[in-house]
Structure 1
């Protein structure tokens, strides 16, 4: 009898140690993914310091720069869902490797671009450049459901770090060494990211569910549109997607037009623009690192979604009447808060609405929403800015977000009445 007890205790101890070791391995992978995401955002914001000024040297006006941004949106609009499906089928390492390799090619083409046509060709690799959605997939796969929003928000913290580092570095390199040297630096940095992926990221981060593995084996085609769009049929997915698109459009317009607004309306140099983006990054770091975690622990996700939409409406109203960069800086804190909470909560809600085997595809669809906004945003934004001024963009954001806020509030009230009746 004593022997069986000792064996049982020994088995339990081994089991606890195995679980502890597995959790430590998951945590290590998540931390490496955070580092890779921070590096990728650094290179992305570095190119934001390069592209507008290189485009201006090559003869682009506001309208043609809008077309360039629209092309990126179109390419990533189609690439996002396919990349998400690729990540689900072939695993995290393959997905992140493909993304980092595409980023290397992207920066090499940017370094050699010497004509308007080459600048358009340089955007083609963006079809595979989805490091952030792939990182979100890994975090969603390895984090517990109740802690997912907090874990995803830490990627936003990485975003803030990358924004500060990339904007500051990009502005400095462009000012002192030129656009092409900055682009070569981005290519070298992306090669470092690829090396980290190959060394530290496991082949797959999916739970080893036999049924899910069998399903993936039978449906290996990444071009299977039915396997992608079927996720929209899960309960609660389509309404959240609708809110993500409609609410995100006005703020997306402002974001894609900001480089033009910074140069034309605020009259900022590349270095000054870098400092402003660093301010964005610091604000986002504080919000993502110290605010969102406690909020998600105390408040429901539906309440936080409603809060972010309401704040976004008032941010749009404030931006409609701003006259200088100081007044704009006053709107940055509520703007970054509403954007951060909105993106984290919608991504969390959507990944929880589908099986774990499809989180990559779902996050690819989420990325396609952002790409859709970048596709139509520059055209709409260019039209509004040139024809009606910067205030029109802010008023559009206020009107749309206020309408969605009222609708969501009424919908929530109706649901509570139904629950009370039952």
Structure 2
């Protein structure tokens, strides 16, 4: 037993010597080894490490307070009180705020009081700072990646969730801005496997992926869920176990990320940018930005009929006739809340372009977004990007219609 204790102690000390306070996924295994020691031996080891390691052991002690062994957790709290530092006092405050075990919170309060008597000063906790004890076990977003948005407002979101004792899960969601969360998958991963999985995501073909703040990824998921509710569409069952964690915490800044990089005034009044919007449609990320055949078939047939008409018109009159058809299509397609959705797509895509070092294209995308809806339907009909996108959709629809007719 002495040999087992010595080996366990050596492994813990080796881990403590290189630990990063934000990355302690290897320690849960060591905690299990401490649990497997006889009760008296495990308690003595914790106390001895506390005396010798000081603040460095706080990460380990904090994890032990969240373990299944209440007696050992109480010893960890007691040991924290022997480390008379501000960091230890703050760790005790966190236990008081979040621990679900009443005995543990009571012991933490006693330990904190003893530290105050020893001269360690910390701010008093208020009732407002004391959240529900269940937050102790609440997974928290640690990292988030998002893909570009496709032509129907769909994108992928990956969120790394940190669970109790440093365990990690990768939650992958497929969302659209009209129907909300369509897919949800999750997998539990170790640090090494997570790194490999994220590298695989970065290298996925036909997807442009960028990292966003973890809370912003959380915000996008919340917004998507609200669309589920609005559309009356049930989210996937797999999402249910993450829903509470996704809704936990307040997100103060909910504006699109591009506004943290660019000011509206910087691009709003640059008319030259508006004239170059059609360049977007040649970018890989915009290749699917067109309307499906079912939604444009009526307008496409009208445009096809105009082009095949045997009535002789001047070039100007022919262009005017096509422009009227395109304008009518714009009014029909960009109705309801679609202009708002389209604006948000452009804002999100502007950030994708910005983060992939296409700064001028990002400015154009933001300018296109800001130009939407300022003058009602007139601004929609005269918006170069919208006109180009609708014309592309009509031309693709005409190709499909003609190809179908030739086979009959």
TM-score bracket, shorter-length normalisation: under 0.3
Return the structure number with greater relative CO, CA threshold 8 A, min gap 6: 1
**TM-score using structure 1 length:** 0.24
**TM-score using structure 2 length:** 0.24
Larger radius of gyration: 2
Which structure carries more helix by proportion? Answer: 1
